[in-house]
Structures are given as C-alpha cells and as structure tokens.
C-alpha cells in the first residue's frame, strides 16, 4: 500500500514523510502526540491554571486581535516564545500573552 504523499515541514521547510520531517525530525499528528509528555508533565498543572486565570483577568483581550484592530476576549495564555521545556521561560510572565482560541490555534499550528 502506498504511503501518504510527502509534505513540507512548517518548522524548517524540509520534506516530511509519514508524519516525520527528514530534516529536523519534527513529528506531526498522532506520532507527535505519542512521543510527547502529557500536559501535567509539561508544567500545565494546578499552579499554571491559577496563574493563567489571574493573567487573563488582568489581560482580558486577545493580543493578536488587538494588533489587527479587533476586540476579542482572550481565552488562552500563550507563551510568545515557545518554552520547549525551559522552566525559566515557561514562568516568565513577560513571555505570556492572552489570545483567543482561533489565534492560539493558528500560532501553535505555525510552530511559533
């Protein structure tokens, strides 16, 4: 049975076959989900839940929508620079921004 056609990796623009980039090794979809730690292990625990709720109360609007001249309620706290396991960067509030769910999905999908 033929494999899926090759695609372009959004992270490094390399060729991705069967969900894995041949250049950077990034995985996608189910392969990626199976290989990563769960949310609790990545730091998204009860402390994060409390701090992110406080942050959203203090920053109620989506930062990306505001940049585009729109007013939308923020529902997610996003790390501006992906922390990739760096605990210092994870907890640095200067690296946080409130985003609405659609903006957060677009940013995350783009690997930013």
Q: Tokens standing for 52? A: 């992110």
Every domain of the chain and the residues it spans = 1-36, 46-109
pTM score, whole prediction = 0.66
pLDDT tens digits for the chain (112 residues)? 456 777 777 777 788 777 778 777 766 655 555 666 666 666 678 899 999 999 999 999 999 999 999 999 999 999 999 888 889 999 999 999 999 999 999 988 877 6
């Amino acid at each position: 049975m033929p494999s899926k056609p090759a695609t372009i990796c959004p992270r490094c623009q390399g060729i991705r076959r069967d969900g894995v980039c041949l250049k950077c090794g990034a995985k996608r979809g189910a392969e990626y989900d199976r290989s990563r730690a769960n949310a609790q292990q990545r730091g998204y625990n009860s402390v994060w839940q409390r701090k992110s709720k406080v942050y959203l109360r203090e920053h109620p609007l989506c930062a990306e929508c505001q940049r585009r001249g729109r007013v939308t309620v923020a529902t997610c706290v996003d790390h501006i620079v992906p922390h990739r396991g760096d605990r210092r960067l994870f907890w640095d509030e200067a690296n946080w921004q409130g985003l609405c769910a659609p903006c957060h999905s677009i940013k995350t999908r783009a690997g930013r």
